[in-house]
Amino acid sequence: MMRVMAMGALNPERYVRTTEDHQVRLAWCFDPDTGDVVVDWTSRAALDPNAGGLPAPADRRLFKRGEYRPEPPDDADFPWSTDGPCRHLL
């Protein structure tokens, strides 16, 4: 089931380390009220063999507060301010 999340866009870029796989991921959207964040899940270096060697489309996932931490961990701006609406299908 797809749903649309309306959150705030991050500017400048921010990163998080997820507790699921401990990888650093690019954060796209952040909700300062709930702490939810939408992150890139697939590697930007991953190639789609069916696309003639072009980068695979990014998969994005929603993480709740406690399922990630800011990267670097001492990010003085966290919780982050946002730069207008950011809508993604999840």
Whole-angstrom Cα distance, residue 33 to residue 11?
17
pLDDT, greater one: 85 or 25: 25
For 76, what's the count of Cα atoms within 13 Å in the CB-facing half-sphere?
0
Question: What is the tens place of the pLDDT at every residue in 68-81?
Answer: 999 998 888 888 87
Question: What is the tens place of the pLDDT at every residue in 10-53?
Answer: 777 889 999 988 889 888 888 888 888 988 876 544 555 565 55
Contact indicator for 11, 61 with CB cutoff of 8 Å: no
What are the domain boundaries of the chain? 4-89
Identity of residue 6: A
Count Cβ atoms within 10 A of the Cβ of residue 82 and give its class: 0-12 exposed, 13-18 middle, 19 or more buried: middle
Identify which of 74, 69, 60, 77 has the alpha carbon closest to the alpha carbon of residue 17.
69
**Bridging pattern class, strands 24-30 and 37-40:** antiparallel
**Bridging pattern class, strands 60-63 and 37-40:** antiparallel
